[in-house]
Amino acid sequence: MRSRVLNLSGFVIGFSLFLIIGFYGCSSSNESAPIDCDLSDLVIEATGQNPTDCTMNDGSITATASGGRGPYTFAINTGSFGTTSAFNNLGGGNYLILVKDRNGCERSVEVLLQLPGINPLSAEAEIVVDTECLTNNGSIDMLVAGGTPPYQYKLGAGAFSSTSIFQNLAPGNYSVTVKDDADCIFVKGITVGRGDSQTSLANDVKPIIETKCAIASCHSGSQSPNFTSTNNIISNASRIKSLIQSGTMPPSNSSAGALTTAQKALITCWVDDGAKDN
């Protein structure tokens, strides 16, 4: 009598895929779970060399990173991320040095390059965080001391003017340059934070989920998680944000169509506000 060997490998693979698809519904399920960057041990440190004169750009900053998941990329103020961790040809200022690891987690450190002299030009900023979701109401008010008044200001690559307040700003990193009457320059790297936008789960987010995600054969009860349940939406908030930002929820073949920019922003704001049951 011949023995019979049962090959279970295909069954195991198929059943595993069924479980994955069942949990994530009709969205793309091949990606790993999102990383919680708040728990990352990523660290950045930086040292600087001051410029020799207020009109000379011969200062420098060197950054090092540890923890997280390498390789690392670095940026200064609003510049693009790259593999270079040394920044040269810098004038005086408070520079924001950033690092990003392979997981997409970021950390930053501020480095002061001080101008020489008895009363050197310097600048601080009063910042108002952005509390709007679909519009922006963040602001920067520059407070300058030293040097030779009067002062001029510019935001990013804009033109110099006497205006020291910049309004209607979105959350993010900015660079403000201050110039005094002797043409001395001081650069200030500034982060405008995100405040509570008061985005509502009931009024703003659930209607989007119900029409775009919790539809037939897609998170409507037949597939898990069931997004007709408020508790399930809240408990999966970070996952929802990750999927809508990557463009995999709803999937490209969904009959509900893609999310608009405004719909993505509302979901993101609600999650960033703490995914409240409001």
d(CA 132, CA 266): 10
Give phi and psi for 231, each to the nearest 5. -60, -40
Confidence band, pLDDT 50/70/90 cuts, at residue 215: confident
Give phi and psi for 140, each to the nearest 5. -130, 130
Q: Give CA torsion, residues 217, 258, 172, 198, to 10 deg.
A: -60
Confidence band, pLDDT 50/70/90 cuts, at residue 1: very low
CB 218 within 8 A of CB 211: no
Neighbours of 139 (CB within 10 A): 17
Rg over alpha carbons for the chain, rounded to the nearest Å, is 25
d(CA 202, CA 261): 19
Mean pLDDT of the 197-208 span? 95
Give the percent of the chain with pLDDT over 70. Answer: 88
Give the residues across from 172 on adjacent strands. 192
Q: Which single residue is written with the structure tokens 């049962």?
A: 6
CB 272 within 8 A of CB 171: no
Q: Which single residue is written with the structure tokens 């479980």?
A: 19
Per the prediction, the chain carries an average pLDDT of: 88
Strand bridging mode 43-49 / 165-169? unpaired
Task: Give the CA angle between residues 262, 267, 272 to the nearest 5°.
Answer: 120
State the DSSP string of 129-189. Answer: -B--SSS--EEEEEEEESSSSS-EEEETTS--BS--EEEEEPSEEEEEEEE-TT--EEEEE
Query: How are strands ordered across the β-sheet holding 138-145?
Result: 122-128, 138-145, 165-169
Residue among 177, 97, 167 at smallest CA distance from 130 = 167
Mean pLDDT of the 98-110 span? 95
- By CB neighbour count within 10 A (0-12 exposed, 13-18 middle, 19+ buried), where does 61 fall? buried
* Residue 234 in this model has a pLDDT that exceeds 60: yes
The predicted pLDDT at position 58 comes to 96
CB 48 within 8 A of CB 59: yes
Written as one letter, the residue type at 87 is F
How do residues 2-11 score in pLDDT, each as one tens digit? 444 445 444 4
Written as one letter, the residue type at 24 is Y
pTM of the model: 0.81
- By CB neighbour count within 10 A (0-12 exposed, 13-18 middle, 19+ buried), where does 90 fall? buried
* Residue 29 in this model has a pLDDT that exceeds 60: no
Instruction: Enter the DSSP assignment of 88.
Output: E
